[in-house]
């Protein structure tokens, strides 16, 4: 691989694998709220928010870090009151109990209104802050931290909406990855150039350990590691993977003020691409080089799949992240490039179709299902057992199999996405 391509891949990884506090969608809304309030230059008296269906779906049922509250209104209020847009997805890291009370006051005054905006990008956030005769607008589109429009009192301070749309459609900004490119980069790049990927292990393992000190969400991790879990599932590298991965997800989805390393705009994807790999690597006592290469393989595979799937879709992100983890686990088991491709096909042949019905505490269960399938797919691959092109959506070519997966997730499940949102917004609860 030439040096130019390697530099492009490293730049891509640094952009897509970043720290985040809280579920990405409501935090991205808080980020837009912070930007609009900063542009306004004073505390807003009213805030209007317009969101795409996918953002609305993913932000409705998840805890907001440090608040003990669920959902968008408090995220929007805090973004406007104490958020700093320069912090990116850590926009609320300066949160205090006093700020939470101020945010509650803004909500009680009915100063915040939230609306669905149709016929926009699947990832679209528009926030309008008003005070007196003045107003300011901030728009995020396509990526969780990507501002495309900022305006104050009718004067555009930034407007790259058309430029961004053209760039998104042509993908001119990004190197288009392939399985072989991902594998070659992870296996052959000098360690000192990719050692930074260990940051994902440090941050996400810390999140899992912090979760163990509390009782978050559905406590999936403590169930796996508890009395019944040990009795019926045993105590093995498999259960260790489940417990460590679900622990970080339990805490994150319940609104713990714990940072994680995200991947492609999702903290859960970052967790599921990292912790099964780290847990298995620790259990088999692999070398640091093996761990670095395994983590890189996992994270870069997730980035590759997300390139064609898109940031948000009806397909649960754990399918994608667990596929990356399965590749890494197969590698750590001593698997060849061919066997790693088998693991990918086994994953696609198994859990394609798992729906995303928003970010919420039960995501830890879905992440655990993904990790379980990752291990099964790796075990089968190591015995040279693979879902064949005669079965379902699997193709002889592994890259085409990935295209088939992402086509279903991005286009084929669009009606599913609409139905899921309709169900979520019309429940009697």
**Mind listing the pLDDT tens digit for each residue in 364-405?**
999 999 999 999 999 999 999 999 999 999 999 999 999 999
Give alpha helix (H) positions in 83-226.
97-108, 161-170, 179-188, 191-194, 198-212, 220-225
Cα–Cα distance, 352 to 329 (Å, whole number): 19
pLDDT, tens digit, for every residue of 12-39? 999 999 998 888 899 999 999 999 999 9
- Mean pLDDT across the chain, nearest whole number? 93
185's torsion region: left (phi>0), alpha (psi -120 to 50) or beta? alpha
Residue 42: C-alpha distances to residues 35, 38, 133 (Å) = 12, 7, 12
pLDDT bracket for residue 62 (50, 70, 90)? confident
- Reading the block at residue 259, the tokens are 């940072």
pLDDT of residue 63: 86
pLDDT of residue 173: 56
Which of 2-11, 60-69, 142-151 has the weakest average pLDDT? Answer: 60-69
pLDDT bracket for residue 170 (50, 70, 90)? very low
Q: Specify the higher pLDDT residue, 417 or 245.
A: 245
Q: Is the pTM of this model over 0.75?
A: yes
pLDDT bracket for residue 164 (50, 70, 90)? low
Mean pLDDT value across residues 233-242? 97
163 pLDDT more than 90: no
Q: Specify the higher pLDDT residue, 181 or 89.
A: 181
Place of tokens 């970010």: 359
94 pLDDT more than 60: yes
pLDDT of residue 172: 45
Query: What residues contact 211, with CB distance under 8 A and at least 6 apart?
Result: 221, 247, 248, 250, 251, 256, 258
Query: What residues contact 122, with CB distance under 8 A and at least 6 apart?
Result: 52, 53, 54, 310, 311, 312, 313
- What percent of the chain shows pLDDT beyond 90? 83
Cα–Cα distance, 42 to 197 (Å, whole number): 40
Among 297, 328, 291, CA closest to 198:
291
- Reading the block at residue 196, the tokens are 């930074």
pLDDT of residue 182: 98
pLDDT, tens digit, for every residue of 403-424? 999 999 989 998 998 899 889 8
Longest dimension (CA), the chain: 69
Mean pLDDT value across residues 133-158? 96
């Amino acid at each position: 691989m030439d040096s130019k391509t390697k530099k492009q891949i490293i730049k891509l990884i640094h952009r897509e694998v970043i720290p985040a506090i809280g579920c990405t969608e409501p935090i991205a809304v808080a980020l837009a709220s912070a930007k609009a309030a900063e542009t306004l230059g004073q505390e807003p008296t009213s805030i209007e928010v317009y969101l795409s269906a996918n953002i609305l779906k993913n932000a409705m049922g998840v805890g907001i870090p440090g608040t003990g509250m669920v959902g968008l209104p408090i995220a929007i209020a805090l973004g406007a009151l104490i958020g700093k847009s320069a912090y990116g997805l850590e926009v609320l890291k300066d949160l205090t109990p006093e700020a939470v009370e101020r945010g509650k006051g803004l909500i009680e005054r009915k100063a915040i209104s939230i609306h669905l905006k149709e016929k926009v990008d699947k990832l679209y956030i528009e926030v309008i802050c008003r005070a007196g005769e003045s107003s300011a607008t901030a728009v995020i589109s396509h990526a969780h931290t990507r501002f495309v429009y900022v305006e104050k009192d009718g004067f555009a301070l930034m407007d790259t909406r058309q430029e961004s749309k053209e760039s998104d459609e042509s993908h001119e900004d990004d190197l288009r990855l392939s399985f072989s490119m991902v594998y070659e980069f992870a296996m052959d790049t000098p360690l000192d150039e990719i050692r930074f990927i260990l940051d994902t292990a440090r941050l996400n393992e810390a999140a899992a350990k912090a979760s163990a000190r509390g009782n978050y969400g559905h406590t999936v991790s403590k169930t796996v590691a508890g009395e019944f879990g040990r009795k019926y599932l045993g105590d093995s590298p498999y259960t260790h993977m489940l417990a460590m991965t679900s622990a970080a997800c339990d805490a994150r989805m319940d609104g713990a003020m714990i940072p994680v390393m995200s991947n492609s705009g999702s903290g859960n994807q970052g967790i599921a691409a990292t912790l099964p790999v780290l847990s298995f690597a620790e259990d088999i006592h692999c070398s640091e080089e093996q761990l670095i290469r395994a983590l890189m393989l996992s994270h870069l595979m997730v980035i590759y799949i997300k390139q064609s799937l898109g940031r948000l879709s009806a397909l649960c992100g754990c399918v994608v992240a667990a596929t990356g983890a399965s590749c890494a686990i197969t590698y750590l088991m001593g698997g060849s490039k061919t066997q790693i491709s088998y693991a990918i096909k086994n994953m696609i042949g198994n859990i394609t179709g798992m729906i995303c019905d928003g970010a919420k505490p039960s995501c830890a269960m879905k992440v655990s299902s993904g990790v379980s399938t990752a291990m099964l797919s790796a075990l089968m691959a190591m015995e040279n057992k693979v879902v064949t092109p005669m079965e379902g959506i699997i193709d002889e070519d592994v890259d085409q199999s990935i295209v088939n997966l992402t086509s279903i997730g991005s286009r084929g499940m669009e009606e599913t996405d609409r139905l899921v949102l309709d169900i979520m917004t019309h429940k009697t609860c």
